[in-house]
């Protein structure tokens, strides 16, 4: 049972436009969320994160939005550039208090293609 | 530039053979993870170490997989015997501590093909 879901396997946008990547989760214990970017033949690299006490975090062209009631987060890239073409993974972590924090649970990824 | 080193980068083996994948975490990082990437499941957690002690290996098939940290500079993931369904890219990652997610650094992965 996938607790973190990225329902769109791929997305294609024009250079300069906005890219919106979506992620849904089922575990209400998740309290920290991250987005990773992955190029072919490389490992994922950290992009941006958000704590559950916030609903928005911005870093340059990248903004992550969190809707806790809907258990949904999204990554916005504005403006999109050809170099943004990669696979984007959503990840989440839960804190079980005395039992400690669990390792990151990842979604299946969305392949973004930015057309010049 | 600190990086996580994984060897080998590619491995092709026959079904039934033993496979060992190695990972050198970043010096000073006390948390090590093994993830597996498949087309269907994305990135799945296999095992998770803190200060060389296993914290969570619930994602790992226990009958054939084993993960160890013989010392702070080496983590190993072993499959014995290997099966075609084990074909995937295996990633190692290290971090400063379990709560410092932004410090997590992934290696480039080992692409395993079992024929």
Task: Quote the DSSP letter at residue A103.
Answer: P
Query: What spatial distance separates the first Cα and last Cα of chain A, rounded to whole Å?
Result: 37
Asked if A44 is an interface residue toward chain B (Cβ–Cβ < 8 A), one would say yes
| Confidence bin at A97 (pLDDT 50/70/90) | low
What share of chain A in percent tops pLDDT 70? 94
For residue A42, list chain B residues with Cβ-Cβ distance below 8 A.
108-109
- The tokens describing A5, both together, are 């879901």
* Interface contact A43-B33, CB threshold 8 A: no
Separation CA A86–CA B56 (nearest Å): 30
Separation CA B4–CA B7 (nearest Å): 10
For A44, the closest chain B residue by CA position comes to: B106
* Interface contact A101-B99, CB threshold 8 A: yes
Rounded mean pLDDT of B83-104? 92
Rounded mean pLDDT of B7-20? 97
| Confidence bin at A22 (pLDDT 50/70/90) | very high
Helix (H, G, I), strand (E, B) or coil at A82: helix
Mean pLDDT, chain B, whole residue set: 93
Longest dimension (CA), chain A: 50
A5 to chain B nearest CA, in Å?
Answer: 10
Separation CA A71–CA B77 (nearest Å): 34
Asked if A68 is an interface residue toward chain B (Cβ–Cβ < 8 A), one would say no
Annotate chain B with three-state secondary structure. Answer: CCCCEEECCEEEECCCCCEEEEEECCCCCCEEEEEEEECCCEEEEEEEEECCEEEECCCCCCCCEEEEEEECCEEEEEECCCCHHHCEEEEEEEECCCCCHHHCEECCCEEEEEC
Can you give the pLDDT at residue B7?
Answer: 97
Query: What spatial distance separates the first Cα and last Cα of chain B, rounded to whole Å?
Result: 36
Helix (H, G, I), strand (E, B) or coil at A83: helix
Rounded mean pLDDT of A100-113? 87
Mean pLDDT, chain A, whole residue set: 93
| Confidence bin at B40 (pLDDT 50/70/90) | confident
* Residues paired with residue A63 on neighbouring β-strands, in sequence order: A58, A76
* Interface contact A106-B109, CB threshold 8 A: no
A46 to chain B nearest CA, in Å?
Answer: 6
| Confidence bin at A95 (pLDDT 50/70/90) | confident
Rounded mean pLDDT of B43-57? 89
Separation CA A50–CA B84 (nearest Å): 38
Asked if the model's pLDDT at residue A98 lies above 80, the reply is no
Q: Which of A21, A47, A103 to mutate to test the interface with B (most CBs of B within 10 A)?
A: A103
Residue in A42, A91, A101 nearest the CB of B98: A101
A37-87 per-position pLDDT tens digit = 999 989 999 999 999 999 999 999 999 999 999 999 999 999 999 999 999
Asked if the model's pLDDT at residue A99 lies above 60, the reply is no
């Amino acid at each position: 049972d996938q607790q973190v879901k990225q329902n769109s396997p791929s997305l294609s946008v024009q250079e300069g436009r906005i890219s919106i990547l979506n992620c849904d989760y089922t575990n209400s214990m998740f309290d920290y969320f991250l987005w990773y970017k992955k190029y072919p033949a490389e490992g994922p690299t950290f992009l941006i994160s958000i704590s559950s006490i916030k609903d928005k975090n911005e870093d340059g062209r990248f903004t992550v939005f969190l809707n806790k009631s809907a258990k949904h987060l999204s990554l916005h890239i504005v403006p999109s550039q050809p170099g943004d073409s990669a696979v984007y993974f959503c990840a989440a972590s839960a804190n079980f208090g005395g039992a400690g924090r669990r390792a990151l649970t990842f979604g299946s990824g969305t392949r973004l293609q930015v057309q010049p | 530039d600190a990086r996580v080193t994984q060897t080998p980068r590619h491995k092709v083996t026959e079904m039934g053979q033993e496979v060992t994948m190695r990972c050198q975490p970043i010096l000073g990082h006390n948390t090590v993870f093994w993830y597996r990437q498949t087309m269907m499941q994305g990135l799945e957690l296999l095992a998770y170490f803190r200060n060389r002690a296993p914290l969570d290996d619930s994602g790992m098939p226990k009958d054939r997989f084993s993960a160890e940290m013989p010392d702070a500079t080496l983590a190993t993931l072993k499959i014995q015997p290997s099966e075609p369904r084990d074909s995937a890219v295996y990633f190692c990652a290290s971090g400063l501590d379990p709560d410092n997610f932004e410090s997590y650094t992934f290696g480039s992965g080992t692409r395993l093909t079992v024929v």
